[in-house]
Chains A and B, each alone.
Chain A
Amino acid sequence: MIQETTMRVGGARRVYRSSLRTRVSRIFGRAASHIVLLAGAAVFAIPFVWMVSTSLKTDRQIFAWPPVWVPNPIVWGNYPAVFDYAPLHRYFLNTMVIATAQVFGAIITCSLAAYAFSRVRAPGRDVIFTIMISQMMIPGVVTLVPLYILFAKLDWINTFLPLTIPAMLGSPFYIFMLRQFFLTLPMELEEAALIDGASRLRVWWTIIMPLSKPAIATVAIFSFMFAWNDFTGPLIFLNSRTKFTLSLGLQAFMFERRTLWGPLMAASTLMITPIMVVFFLAQKHFIQGIALTGMKA
């Protein structure tokens, strides 16, 4: 009896001591992770802070040492000044036209292809699917030169067609992403509709598309971002300033006025803002899309 009690007491004490130790080490561990996280977050965020801060400074403060973090006074003049050097509104419109065409084209063609790959059976379909997957591994540079020649022959250079038509016909990344999503949808609704005599096209439009809004939104966001960020395409296929996109226009501005840091940072801030807005409105779709592409293996 006695023996048992001491054992129990001893046991309890040991449990207590170790729990205190783990609690202390946990608190230290947490504090350490917070410090590391904060330091890391600062490193990743400081460039943005610096960009916005520079865009609101006078030249004297831009070139001040030690560096000034909060502009004093805050000047807004760099923002209107951008438009004296670069017609940003024009570039913005051009980019929007290209991005909109790409987004709507990609949604329609990619979801049709993804629906076929996930549900509609045909001989050779899986071979075609493998071909499409290998297409993702082809470095884009191999097609660059012949595409330029092709578009030159078609008289498409300096139009938006090279930047929209190929993208509107569908990209393997989005097709793959949507197929993965379609595979998770239940078949019952669709089968019922097919038995009632609905065509595949009708099933796709009235059942699959409405059920896939989150995945479609992800594709929309990714193709919008691609169009918004693309530089190589516009660089090669556009050559008159009235056709420039934001990326190309901003690069030209930088090339010509390398030292106008205030207006340059204002222009960069203006270009980044829409992407940030999209991100904060649709955060979950970003994460989901990346996870879907990453799940490949």
Chain B
Amino acid sequence: MTVKHPRRRLRLATREALTCYLFLLPWAIGFLAFVLGPILASLVLSFMRYDVVTAPRLIGISNFRDMFVTDKRFMMSMGNTAYYVLLYVPLHLLVALGLALLLNQKVRGMPVYRTLFYIPSIVPIVAASILWVWILQPEWGLINSLLGLVGIKGPLWLASLTWSKPSLILMALWGSGSAMIICLAGLQGVPQHLYEAAEIDGADRWDRFRHVTLPMLSPTLFFMLVLGVIGSFQVFTTAYVMTGGGPAESTLFYMLYLYRRAFVFLDMGYAAAMAWILFVVVLTLTLVQFRLANRWVYYEAEQR
């Protein structure tokens, strides 16, 4: 009995472990075959010249050298993307937080309002892009028609060098609904007694927002910031559908240029190298954000 018992437990534990691995197998196959494998292949590829038709050839670091030395489009697409990220991410957080605060009040008809603000974020991106090309159309589009009614001559929007990127950002902000819901869930998770305690201490509305709401919401905001940066560095579809990178390549974003190098010019090695640069940039920014997080992100558990 005493000898048999531990052996049986061991066998049970092994069986359980095998079951666990078996259940994880489909995901693991997908991860190895379609994520990890390709990432490593992409690294090797970035040191090669490969056009799919002829055999790949090792060319050392010349893909990377070309990017930073001879290829003006590379730096330009990086600049366009940085512009987009720097403007879109903060505005996106502000809009999401603002809407969430607005929708967190006790007002009649709130479910209707919430639905209205949320719905644009589930519109298929191609359908939304086509709709916005029409809305931003310089002569007969809705925005310029309405501006015309009050005597303002609207800009050329997507056809203007200065307004093309802000136009895409404006459209992206229209879809802030899901971020708003995340914020709203965060807001509703703030315990009411904290507000009551602050009120007793004489805190006004702003104090309560600044010293209760913001700290309690900071983990949510941090999560949105990290995912927002990763996502907006890869902005692609709206530019591809709405502007095709124009005018004068002012919306040639990084992903769009990468797509062209890979699938229009069949320059697979160069595109892989570009993907790796983007990966490193995004990874660095993510790590920096995690490093900076303990300065402003408040986790309740630490205080207990």
Residues of B within 8 A of A261 (CB): 134
Q: Which residue of A lies closest to B189 (CB)?
A: A295
B279 within 8 A of A: yes
B35 within 8 A of A: yes
B60 within 8 A of A: no
Q: Is the CB of A144 within 8 A of B262?
A: yes
Stretch at the interface among A15-23, A35-43, A73-81: A35-43
Q: Which residue of A lies closest to B120 (CB)?
A: A44
Residues of A within 8 A of B241 (CB): 231, 251, 254
Among B16, B18, B236, B275, point to the contact of A145 (Cβ < 8 A). Answer: B275
If the complex has contacts A41-B116, A169-B29, A291-B181, are A62 and B140 also in contact, measured as CB distance less than 8 A? yes
Among A36, A116, A290, point to the contact of B102 (Cβ < 8 A). Answer: A36
Stretch at the interface among A5-13, A212-220, A263-271: A263-271
Q: Give the distance to chain A from B120, nearest Cβ to Cβ, in Å.
A: 6
Q: Is the CB of B35 within 8 A of A247?
A: no
A101 within 8 A of B: no
Complex CA gap A248/B240 in Å reads 11
The interface bits of chain A over 268-297 (1 if a CB of B lies within 8 angstroms of the residue's CB, else 0) are: 100110011001000100110011011111
Q: Is the CB of A279 within 8 A of B122?
A: yes
Q: Give the distance to chain B from A175, nearest Cβ to Cβ, in Å.
A: 6
Stretch at the interface among B36-44, B67-75, B196-204: B36-44
Interface size class of A (residues with CB under 8 A): 35 or more
A121 within 8 A of B: yes
Q: Is the CB of A268 within 8 A of B142?
A: no
Complex CA gap A266/B161 in Å reads 30
Among B23, B38, B174, B258, point to the contact of A200 (Cβ < 8 A). Answer: B23
Residues of B within 8 A of A166 (CB): 30, 33-34
B27 within 8 A of A: yes
A2 within 8 A of B: no
A197 within 8 A of B: no
Complex CA gap A51/B299 in Å reads 44
Q: Give the distance to chain A from B127, nearest Cβ to Cβ, in Å.
A: 4
If the complex has contacts A121-B17, A229-B124, are A113 and B27 also in contact, measured as CB distance less than 8 A? yes
If the complex has contacts A41-B116, A137-B286, are A63 and B39 also in contact, measured as CB distance less than 8 A? no
Q: Give the distance to chain B from A84, nearest Cβ to Cβ, in Å.
A: 17
Chain B residues numbered 127-172 whose CB sits less than 8 Å from any CB in chain A: 127, 130-135, 140, 142, 145-146, 148-149
Q: Is the CB of B116 within 8 A of A142?
A: no
Among A62, A139, A147, A200, point to the contact of B233 (Cβ < 8 A). Answer: A139
A120 within 8 A of B: yes
The main secondary structure of chain A at its interface with chain B is helix
Residues of A within 8 A of B20 (CB): 116, 120-122, 125
Q: Is the CB of A290 within 8 A of B185?
A: yes
Residues of B within 8 A of A295 (CB): 185
A50 within 8 A of B: yes
Chain A residues numbered 183-241 whose CB sits less than 8 Å from any CB in chain B: 199-201, 204, 225, 228-229, 231-232, 235-236
Q: Is the CB of B26 within 8 A of A169?
A: yes
Complex CA gap A33/B241 in Å reads 37
Complex CA gap A120/B103 in Å reads 41
Q: Is the CB of A268 within 8 A of B107?
A: no
- Nearest 4 CB-CB pairs, A to B? A169-B30, A297-B219, A294-B182, A122-B20
* Residues of A near any B CB (own CB < 8 A): 30, 33-34, 36-37, 40-41, 44-48, 50-51, 54, 62-63, 65-67, 109-110, 112-113, 115-117, 120-123, 125, 128, 131-132, 135, 137-150, 152, 166, 169-170, 172, 175, 199-201, 204, 225, 228-229, 231-232, 235-236, 246-248, 250-251, 254, 258, 261, 264-265, 267-268, 271-272, 275-276, 279, 283, 286-287, 290-291, 293-297
Besides the contacts A265-B131, A291-B181, what 9 more A-B pairs have beta carbons closer than 8 Å? A50-B131, A109-B26, A113-B24, A121-B17, A144-B258, A149-B50, A232-B236, A248-B126, A264-B130
30 A–B contacts, CB within 8 A, in A order: A33-B102, A41-B117, A65-B145, A112-B24, A120-B19, A121-B17, A122-B16, A122-B21, A138-B39, A139-B233, A142-B276, A144-B271, A145-B45, A145-B268, A145-B275, A150-B38, A166-B34, A169-B34, A231-B237, A247-B124, A251-B130, A251-B241, A264-B134, A272-B124, A276-B119, A290-B182, A294-B185, A294-B220, A297-B222, A297-B223
* Residues of B near any A CB (own CB < 8 A): 13, 16-21, 23-24, 26-31, 33-35, 37-39, 41-42, 45, 50, 52, 99, 102-103, 105, 107, 113, 115-120, 122-127, 130-135, 140, 142, 145-146, 148-149, 174, 178, 181-182, 185-186, 219-220, 222-224, 226, 230, 233-234, 236-237, 240-241, 255, 258-259, 262-263, 268, 271-272, 275-276, 278-279, 282-283, 286, 297, 299
